[in-house]
Amino acid sequence: MAKKITDKVTWVGKVDWELKSFHGNELSTGHGSSYNSYLLRDGGKTVLIDTVWGPYDKEFVSRLKEEVDLSSIDFIVMNHNESDHSGALPELMREIPSTPIYCTKKGEAIIRGHYHQDWNFVNVKTGDKLELASGSLTFIEATMLHWPDTMFTYWSGDGGILFSNDGFGQHLASESLYDEDVDRDILFREAEKYYANILSTYSPMAARKVKEILGMNLPLRLICPSHGVIWKKEPSAIVEKYLLWSDSYKEDQVTIVYDTMWQSTRKMAQAIAEGLREASPSTTVKLMNASRDDKNDILTEVFHSRAVLVGSPTINFGVSYAISGILEMMHGMRLKGKKAAAFGSYGWSGEAVKMMSESLSGAGFEVVDEGLRLTWVPDGEALESCVEWGRQFAGKL
């Protein structure tokens, strides 16, 4: 059902309570999500901003028809054209095939690449405007937030609204649509998980873009992303978080990510944690089993940390399947300013620690220790060496 959010703007998106994973199975979405689409009506002109994911295309178009005569839509603005926002375009354009689609040049290429249609594209760039009766829509390219095509659209009416698409989004389903109506801890946790897993790779661009927008001194009553709730109560709070998250973010936390076959590497992880805590009581230490814990929650904890310790037994001259996957994902995040080291048990060849250290280094971590390897099942003396290694790692933080 459509929901009016200001005098001129109505939300016409889809709340997806059932969504459990996103980007195939790359990202877990434990609190569902939404695909936010907005209808702006001002002085006889109607603008649709973004659409929804393909599986909801018919529902989207039929609900949109209940809200507006489709033929009265003057412009469609596509801020970003990944399938979760552009998926309903073919269904919509079947009804209004000549309606102009405002998007970046790269946006047009992406839409053409996805849907292979010769629609009425209008390419826009930063600073271009669409004048309406009581205000203007200004386009602001936001390259790589999240794809090369991405732009934000700023509406100067209604006290100022930034339609930021993926930027400032969260995978969080809510019937209310507003930040003030959801659990604040869950909201910021989901926003951080979203940033860590989707946008951290592009932190330099995020930092530049947020500063650029702040420098414009635009009145900002609402930030309306295309996923999750609208920032109404605290638009500045999420902007401040983005400044923090995009600048080599770290809290006083060490995350120990490990995998284990017969509990030896797990015992090492626990003993290392003991040493760390003993030597640095103010540091939060978290242990996560890469085979059991959610991979995206692990990456969020890594993002949150000042250092990470990665442990795997040596398996068939290599690293465990789960740890290999986490290391690969960490590589893609392009994190900066974090320290790391590796550990693990082995029986005979014992390559895993060296391989993990090299992988961490390649992922941009500062590897501050050559790593800790133990054979077979650690006894009391071996575990004491793990405690001591944890103490020494704390000294290198």
Candidates 31, 171, 193, 227; binder of ligand FEO (CB under 6 A) is 227
The interface region with ligand FEO, picked from 78-86, 91-99, 320-328, 367-375 by CB under 6 A, is 78-86
Listed in sequence order, the residues at least 6 apart from 27 whose beta carbon sits closer than 8 Å to its beta carbon are 21, 171, 197, 198, 296
Distances 27 to 75, 242, 321, 329, 382 between C-alpha atoms, Å: 32, 20, 18, 11, 37
Q: Which residues pair with 187 in a beta bridge?
A: none
CA-to-CA distance for 103 and 95, rounded, in angstroms?
A: 20
Of 8 and 146, which has the nearer Cβ to ligand FEO? 146
82 binds ligand FEO (CB under 6 A): yes
Q: Which residues contact 45 (CB under 8 A, 6 or more apart)?
A: 74, 75, 132, 133
CB of 97 or CB of 204, closer to ligand FEO: 204
| Residue 23 is among the residues annotated as catalytic for this protein | yes
Residue 85 falls in the annotated catalytic set: no
The H or E element spanning position 397 is none
Catalytic-residue membership of 114: no
Active site residue 227: yes
Read off the tokens for 221. Answer: 């009553």
**Minimum separation from the CB atom of position 247 to ligand FEO (A):** 22
Distances (CA, A) of 319 to 288, 316, 328, 390: 16, 8, 12, 21
Question: If binding means CB under 6 A, how many residues of this protein chain bind ligand FEO?
Answer: 9
> Which residues make beta-bridge pairs with 207?
none
Check residue 14 for interaction with ligand FEO (CB under 6 A): no
Q: Which of 14, 31, 106, 146 binds ligand FEO (CB under 6 A)?
A: 146
Which of 227, 249, 258, 259 is the catalytic position?
A: 227
**How many Å apart are CA 319 and CA 87, to the nearest integer?**
39
What angle separates helix 264-279 from helix 380-395, to the nearest 10 degrees? 40
The set of residues, in sequence order, having a beta carbon less than 8 Å from that of 233 and lying 6+ positions away, is: 178, 179, 180
User: In whole angstroms, how close is the CB of 165 to ligand FEO at the nearest point?
Assistant: 7
Our CB check for ligand FEO shows the closer of 148 and 318 to be 148
Catalytic residue among 42, 84, 149, 192: 84
Q: Does residue 85 bind ligand FEO (CB under 6 A)?
A: yes
Least distance between ligand FEO and beta carbon 81 (Å) = 9
Residue among 35, 56, 154, 194 flagged as catalytic? 194
CA distance 73 to 44: 10
Binding test (CB under 6 A) with ligand FEO, winner from 84, 141, 179, 301:
84
Kindly state whether residue 209 participates in binding ligand FEO, applying the rule CB under 6 A. Answer: no
Catalytic-labelled residue, pool 57, 82, 91, 179: 82
Applying CB under 6 A, among 8, 14, 41, 80 the residue interacting with ligand FEO is 80
CA distance linking residue 360 with residue 367, whole number of Å: 7
Please identify, using beta-carbon distances, which residue of 80 and 338 lies nearer to ligand FEO: 80
146 is catalytic: yes
Quickly tell me which residue has 């826009």 as its tokens: 124
- Under rule CB under 6 A, residue 166 binds ligand FEO: yes
Instruction: Provide the β-strand partners of residue 41.
Output: 46
* Annotation says 346 is catalytic: no
Cα–Cα nearest to 39, from 211, 181, 155, 190:
155
Cα separation values, 97 from 75, 91, 100, 163, 215, Å: 12, 10, 9, 24, 38
Among the candidate windows 38-46, 82-90, 249-257, 297-305, which touches ligand FEO by CB under 6 A?
Answer: 82-90
The CA distances from residue 336 to 59, 138, 224, 249, 365, in Å, are: 43, 33, 29, 8, 7
Catalytic status, residue 166: yes
Residue 18 Cβ vs ligand FEO, minimum distance, rounded to whole Å: 17
Q: What is the x/- site pattern for ligand FEO, positions 98-137, by CB under 6 A?
A: ----------------------------------------
Beta carbons within 8 Å of 9's beta carbon, 6+ residues apart: 38, 39, 40, 155, 158, 161, 224
Cβ-based nearer residue to ligand FEO, 81 or 357: 81
> 101 vs 340, which CB is nearer to ligand FEO?
101
Q: Examine the residue annotation and report whether 84 is marked as an active-site residue of this protein.
A: yes
Cβ proximity to ligand FEO, 113 vs 215, nearer residue: 113
For position 339 contacting ligand FEO by CB under 6 A, the verdict is no
Instruction: State how beta strands 366-367 and 339-346 pair.
Output: parallel
Binding residues for ligand FEO (CB under 6 A): 80, 82, 84-85, 146-147, 166, 226-227
Residues involved in catalysis: 23, 80, 82, 84, 146, 166, 194, 227
